[in-house]
Structure 1
Amino acid sequence: MTSVLIIDDHPIVLQGCRRMLEDAGVKTVLEARDATSGYRLYRRHHPDLVIVDLAMQGGGLGGLEVIRRMRSHDPRARILVFSMHSDPIIAARALEAGATGYVLKDSNELMKAFDQVRSGTPYLSNDLAMQVALVRTGVRANPLADLTPRELQTLSLLAEGKPYGRIAEELNVSYKTVVNACSQLKQKLNAKNLPELIRVAVQLVSTEP
């Protein structure tokens, strides 16, 4: 394998991945800090494998959407999600979108996952494999399945009783972004107002697999 594209908005992650890949003999490592520019690089260079985060700052494409586009462009694309999200619903959605593998950032499995995905074999972090297997059979019927990773994060923090300002700080986004996310959540979860959304959030998060 000669080329890998990394799409992640954290410079430290980009540097760490590049170092490990180069040590493993990868000749060309491309980098993008958002999904939109990452997709452009993908179309321009057609790397052998893509490592992508799901929740990145900025507008434009999200992680799941860029996975769908890459998979649509090339059904044989090898895509490894490298994410902090350990929620099995998010992992299941990434796999449904077309990811070949899913590995957690707080694990030591990146290179193991990389080796497996580049050979064309699906990979799931050990801690997630069983949970995802249980979730995928009913993921479409779960109301959380239609939410983006950012919306799931927001919903979880709402369930903890945190106000918009605190949620914005914890997610490192603007207050307006949180307001917009909550507006989308109300529509998707059929909540008429914020108190009802918080009540729904508590119910869903407490029963989440």
Structure 2
Amino acid sequence: MNEKKISVLLVDDHQVVRAGFRMLLDAQPFIGTIVDVDRGELACHEYDRKRPDVVVMDLSMPGIGGLETIRRLKKQDPQATVLVYSIHDESIYVERAIQAGARGYVTKNSAAEVLAEAVLAVSQGKRYIEQDILPNIDDFRHPSDTLHYGQVVELLSPREFDVFCLTARGMTAHEVAAELHLGYKTVANYNTQIKNKLNVNTTADLANIAVVLGIIKH
């Protein structure tokens, strides 16, 4: 008897990237049906319809974003298996994704076989975090100052965290609004909420926290 193949839901807002994922996964003998969508809202809808074995998802997307999508999927189905496939290799992103309910984390800079290996592993109930970013996670967990800031950033909602990261990198509210497909006033309100929650006054203060967390470099 043939083993059951793994059904996959791909979630990424770039069509070319999704096409590349499809080609990569189609080449694997253990992969079955592949469905792809371009944002989190559609991912929640398609998951309810298809109940795929694994959701392979980016974090930086318009709409509700990747972290909130993970939370909603886990609320829909506590057994949902999510593998994050992101450009971000900073430890705070990995921590946030795992806290939200992701089973694994792989960066887009990894070799093709790493993604395939990760999909297979998480489909079997295993946790998979790319080897190259594991040392960064250890660095994040142990220093007391970084751990303190990490606990503080946990106060932020998934969308506030997205705005925080982009603002800390020096993007203006208009640029953040365009990147996340949000209104300028919405982003301005998020920035106010973020500063209040983190007890800081300026964008420079946000950047300092982001440096400690490893989100941006000195």
Q: Same fold (TM over 0.5)?
A: yes
> Which runs of structure 2 are paired with 1:1-209 in the superposition (5 Å)?
1-25=5-29, 26-58=31-63, 61-108=64-111, 109-136=114-141, 138=147, 142-147=151-156, 148=158, 149-158=161-170, 163-165=172-174, 171=179, 173=181, 176=184, 178-191=187-200, 196-209=201-214
Return closer, same or farther for 1:174/1:67 CA change in 2, 3 Å cut-off.
Answer: closer
Please say if residues 157 and 167 of structure 1, whose CA atoms lie closer than 8 Å, have aligned partners that are also in contact: no
Secondary structure, counterpart of 2:55 in structure 1: strand
Q: Give me the whole-angstrom Cα distance separating, in 2, the residues matched to 1:88 and 1:206.
A: 12
The structure with higher relative contact order (CA 8 Å, sep 6+) is: 2
Q: Identity of paired residues, percent?
A: 31
What is the letter of the counterpart of residue 65 of structure 1?
A: E
19-28 vs 9-18, which moves further: 19-28
What is the letter of the counterpart of residue 91 of structure 2?
A: P
Secondary structure, counterpart of 1:47 in structure 2: coil
> Cα distance, 1:166 vs. partner?
5.3
Return closer, same or farther for 1:202/1:31 CA change in 2, 3 Å cut-off.
Answer: closer
Q: Give me the whole-angstrom Cα distance separating, in 1, the residues matched to 2:77 and 2:207.
A: 40
Q: Give me the whole-angstrom Cα distance separating, in 1, the residues matched to 2:36 and 2:153.
A: 31
Secondary structure, counterpart of 1:142 in structure 2: helix
Return closer, same or farther for 1:167/1:24 CA change in 2, 3 Å cut-off.
Answer: same
Please say if residues 7 and 33 of structure 2, whose CA atoms lie closer than 8 Å, have aligned partners that are also in contact: yes
Q: Give me the whole-angstrom Cα distance separating, in 2, the residues matched to 1:114 and 1:94.
A: 16
Return closer, same or farther for 1:17/1:173 CA change in 2, 3 Å cut-off.
Answer: same
Secondary structure, counterpart of 1:6 in structure 2: strand
Unaligned runs of 5+ in 1: none
Q: Give me the whole-angstrom Cα distance separating, in 1, the residues matched to 2:55 and 2:199.
A: 36
Please say if residues 84 and 105 of structure 2, whose CA atoms lie closer than 8 Å, have aligned partners that are also in contact: yes
What is the letter of the counterpart of residue 43 of structure 2?
A: G
Q: Give me the whole-angstrom Cα distance separating, in 2, the residues matched to 1:40 and 1:99.
A: 18
| Count of aligned pairs | 199
Unaligned runs of 5+ in 2: none
Q: What are the superposed Cα offsets for residues 36-55 of structure 1, whole Å, 9 maximum, x if unpaired?
A: 11111101111111101112
Normalising by the residue count of structure 1, what TM-score does the alignment of the two structures yield?
A: 0.81
11-20 vs 196-205, which moves further: 196-205
Q: Give me the whole-angstrom Cα distance separating, in 2, the residues matched to 1:45 and 1:53.
A: 19
Normalising by the residue count of structure 2, what TM-score does the alignment of the two structures yield?
A: 0.78
Q: Give me the whole-angstrom Cα distance separating, in 2, the residues matched to 1:174 and 1:36.
A: 15
> Cα distance, 1:77 vs. partner?
2.2
CA RMSD of aligned residues (A): 2.5
Return closer, same or farther for 1:189/1:98 CA change in 2, 3 Å cut-off.
Answer: same
Q: What are the superposed Cα offsets for residues 84-108 of structure 1, whole Å, 9 maximum, x if unpaired?
A: 1222111111111111100111221
Return closer, same or farther for 1:20/1:89 CA change in 2, 3 Å cut-off.
Answer: same
